[in-house]
Amino acid sequence: MSKIDDRLIKGYQKFRDTVFESDRALYEELASSGQKPHTLMIACSDSRVLPQQILSAGPGDLFVVRNVAAMVPPYERDSGYHGTSAAIEFAVTVLEVDNIVVMGHAGCGGVASVIDHSMPTDSFVHNWMRPLREWLRAHEDFDEQDDAESKRMLERAAVHLSLQNLKSFPFVRERMEAGTLSVIGFIFDIHNGDLSQVRAKQKITLDVESLG
């Protein structure tokens, strides 16, 4: 059996002695009554981006799924393993969340790999990022920007693409059309803590609106 890293043990002990004890009643209520999160959060797995911390969310508030680059794949019905799609389905049809938030971030390595071609073509990451590569090939003028700017814009394009892919899920589209589900895109800037909403105008001329 692998030895547990002392940092993990100390981290848990701190949580148990402080956070859990201060919120014990809330945890007991959630344990007995079940969860009713208001938002499905689809965020990047990046260790520097903590959705609950960024949004000051507590236990029971967010149903969180994290993956490389916060990507939402297109709706597919086959026998493959669709972890993100399963989380979306559960959040929307079982938990009946009010919102779906896709949170990308500045300096995303998954997005950068699409431009830098830094991942082997037989890697899981390369295959996972295929929808964004296809988007990039369909927008040939996109690469005319400088490298830093193109990565910044592609991070926003990734969020927009995920928002569009969410609409390909019938149960998401149905609730959106009924006005009972909001779908929102965010970009978090690790450098300055700024949170912006991604807005798409004509085609994919991307703009953002700071929420600070």
Asked if residue 143 belongs to a known ligand binding site, the reply is: no
Asked if residue 105 belongs to a known ligand binding site, the reply is: yes
Q: Where are the alpha helices (DSSP H) in 23-169?
A: 24-33, 51-54, 83-89, 109-116, 124-128, 130-138, 147-166
84: nearest Cα among 75, 93, 94: 75
Asked if residue 146 belongs to a known ligand binding site, the reply is: no
Q: Can you say how many angstroms the Cα of residue 46 is from the centroid of all Cα atoms in its chain?
A: 10
- Phi and psi torsions of 84, nearest 5°: -65, -40
- For residue 164, give both structure tokens: 């569009």
Query: Cα–Cα distances in Å, from 187 out to 54, 55, 113, 131, 172?
Result: 11, 13, 18, 19, 22
184: nearest Cα among 209, 205, 151, 154: 209
Residue 184 pairs in a beta bridge with 101
Query: Binding site: which residues?
Result: 44, 46, 105, 108
Query: Binding site for Zn(2+): which residues?
Result: 44, 46, 105, 108
